[in-house]
Structure 1
Amino acid sequence: AVNGSVYLILLLMGVSLAGLENLGSQLSRLGGNALLLFSITTVLNLGALWWLSRQVALKAGNSPVVKNAPTSKLAAMQGSLMLVGVVAAGVAFGLLIGPIIGETLFTTADWLAEWVLYALLMLIGCQLRNSGMPLKQILLNRLGLAIAVTLALSSLLAGLLAAPLLSLSWNEGLAMASGFGWYSLSAILIGDQLGPLMGGVAFFNDLTRELLAFILIPLVIHRHTALA
């Protein structure tokens, strides 16, 4: 159900993107803005986490094996690339059906995406409960909290730096950087507040961060745990 919700949200997001005027030029702008935000965020994230790794000289321990988890970078990246395909399918559907139904299609897609997001958040809560990992274990994980705080602060700084370059206010820049890789959440929340174009920027920024993680984690995990 979680996987299905994610795909449905991204399909609806694609339909919303199809409602943009001058879609071709808007998509070009979307890609440029997403690349700019991604580049600034990545440089600051990796620099801050590399510094943290140097401060915390830890040896990589044995990680638990997750059943049915991807075993290669290619297999992991295929799943992420499929998400891009779902968005593209939503855009194509919107372009085909939009002229027939009209603006109602795009407003309905926005409304449905928001409610599917609420269902997704509830399902993720169920997942956390069923994982068997108590909140105490999460909150008392000092290294995990240090990594999370370092990642959050460096990401928010990136949002502040990127804001004037994206013609956004400082608080909108912070919002764009606050997805922390959660593309299905950031795409809908940003899209609701700043429009489908910026929602698309947030989606591709966060999805590209995930793709980069799939590539870099196996390369650095044994030397720089916090960075991985």
Structure 2
Amino acid sequence: MLFGILIALIPLFAGYLIKLSNKTWLSWINQSLSLIIYLILFLMGSELAQLDDLLSHLTMIISSTLLLFICTFGFNMIFLLVLDIVLPWRNSNPNNQSLTSRFKMILESLRICLALILGFICGLMPLSIWQYNDLASKVTLVILLVLVGIQLRSNHITIKQILINKVGMLTTLTVVFSALLGGVVVSYLLSLPINTSMAMSSGFGWYSLSGVLMTEAQGPIIGGISFLNDIMRELCAIILIPSLIKRYKLTSLGLCGATSMDFTLPMLQKGGGIMMVPPAIVQGFLLTLIMPILMSLLNYYF
């Protein structure tokens, strides 16, 4: 239990103590993060392949993922739309830029899924190397969190900037509250412990970390459901942003979750204007920081 808490918090904060300004090093960290994400998902897929009674587990994983996604993403959408109606945030897009290709971004997300599928296929092979899966996952996770911490610190975001940006803080609170509320509903629908279902709903789109943290705490089935839920969130956000962003900017921002700081940031900027950038970075930063802490607390202390 203690290791589960430490593996999520210590590496992240250790990395956050390191501030880099060298562009070459920052570029290397970004590339390394991409490779590590693929490796983590490969290992997760291989672990799923070694489950007993695999077919029935896959059926349960798919149905549970759909239910979790409908509740968490659905509650996010409802609460954010209400927020947009009650407190409309208007800003123009002076650049009038065309949006980033949705098809290209969807393909990028699907490439992530291919790493999981490849790991699953390889995991079906009776290789002795799979006995080291657990150790490899822990070591890879620690490296990932250290690099994420460095990346967060190197974005030059101060506590003052976070507290001043009310839009980013408001969408963050709305996303967290509504996602956890969806998790409460899921606990009743799937007859799961309420802390487990709330932990599953607290990935906020950070699929690589949510999957591995839930796998460490609850096993590969729950980890697989968490991962698929968050990858579906990213895909749906990419599809919906171009249609929503002109009229419902807060909704578009909130649906991106933790990816608003990186992957979906170009789409938010081009569709909503330069004023979307500060709250998008603040929201991504906060959710990236909150997610491992909240998920670990829900898994190990409640």
Distance in 1 separating the partners of 2:42 and 2:76: 29
Partner of 2:223: 199
**Offset of residue 132 of structure 1:** 3.5
Partner of 1:27: 58
Is 1:93 the counterpart of 2:122 in the alignment?
Answer: yes
Q: Which residue of the other structure, out of 101, 110, 113, is the alignment partner of 1:84?
A: 113
Secondary structure of 2:118's aligned partner: helix
Distance in 1 separating the partners of 2:62 and 2:143: 29
Is 1:50 the counterpart of 2:81 in the alignment?
Answer: yes
- CA gap of 1:32–1:62, structure 2 versus 1, over 3 A, is same
Partner of 1:67: none
The share of aligned pairs that are identical, in percent, is 39
Partner of 1:121: 145
Question: Matches of residues 175-190 of structure 1 in structure 2 within 5 Å?
Answer: 175-190=199-214
Whether the 8 Å contact between 1:60 and 1:222 is mirrored in structure 2 is no
Q: Which amino acid aligns with 1:89?
A: L
Q: TM-score, normalised by structure 1?
A: 0.90
Which is bigger in relative contact order (C-alpha 8 A, separation at least 6)? Answer: 1
**Offset of residue 118 of structure 1:** 1.6
- CA gap of 1:225–1:30, structure 2 versus 1, over 3 A, is same
Distance in 2 separating the partners of 1:146 and 1:60: 17
**Offset of residue 141 of structure 1:** 1.0
| 1:146-166 C-alpha deviation (Å, 9 max, x unpaired) | 101011000001001001222
Q: Which residue of the other structure, out of 163, 171, 191, is the alignment partner of 2:187?
A: 163
Could you list the runs of 5+ residues in structure 1 that have no partner in the other structure?
A: 65-69
Whether the 8 Å contact between 1:60 and 1:221 is mirrored in structure 2 is no
Q: Which amino acid aligns with 1:168?
A: L
Distance in 2 separating the partners of 1:39 and 1:131: 33
Question: Matches of residues 1-80 of structure 1 in structure 2 within 5 Å?
Answer: 1-62=32-93, 71-80=100-109
- CA gap of 1:139–1:115, structure 2 versus 1, over 3 A, is farther
Whether the 8 Å contact between 1:179 and 1:206 is mirrored in structure 2 is yes
Q: Which amino acid aligns with 1:110?
A: D
Partner of 2:170: 146
**Offset of residue 122 of structure 1:** 1.4
Distance in 2 separating the partners of 1:218 and 1:224: 10
Could you list the runs of 5+ residues in structure 2 that have no partner in the other structure?
A: 1-31, 253-302
- CA gap of 1:63–1:29, structure 2 versus 1, over 3 A, is farther
Question: Matches of residues 125-136 of structure 1 in structure 2 within 5 Å?
Answer: 125-136=149-160
Distance in 2 separating the partners of 1:224 and 1:169: 35
**Offset of residue 61 of structure 1:** 4.4
Q: Which amino acid aligns with 1:83?
A: I
| 1:166-201 C-alpha deviation (Å, 9 max, x unpaired) | 221111111111111111111111111111011000
Distance in 2 separating the partners of 1:154 and 1:87: 28
**Offset of residue 129 of structure 1:** 2.7
Q: Which residue of the other structure, out of 196, 203, 215, is the alignment partner of 1:172?
A: 196
Distance in 1 separating the partners of 2:63 and 2:133: 25
Query: CA RMSD for the aligned pairs?
Result: 1.8
| Deviating 4+ runs (over 3 angstroms) | 60-64, 132-135
Partner of 2:240: 216
- CA gap of 1:9–1:197, structure 2 versus 1, over 3 A, is same
Distance in 2 separating the partners of 1:20 and 1:85: 19
- CA gap of 1:133–1:93, structure 2 versus 1, over 3 A, is same
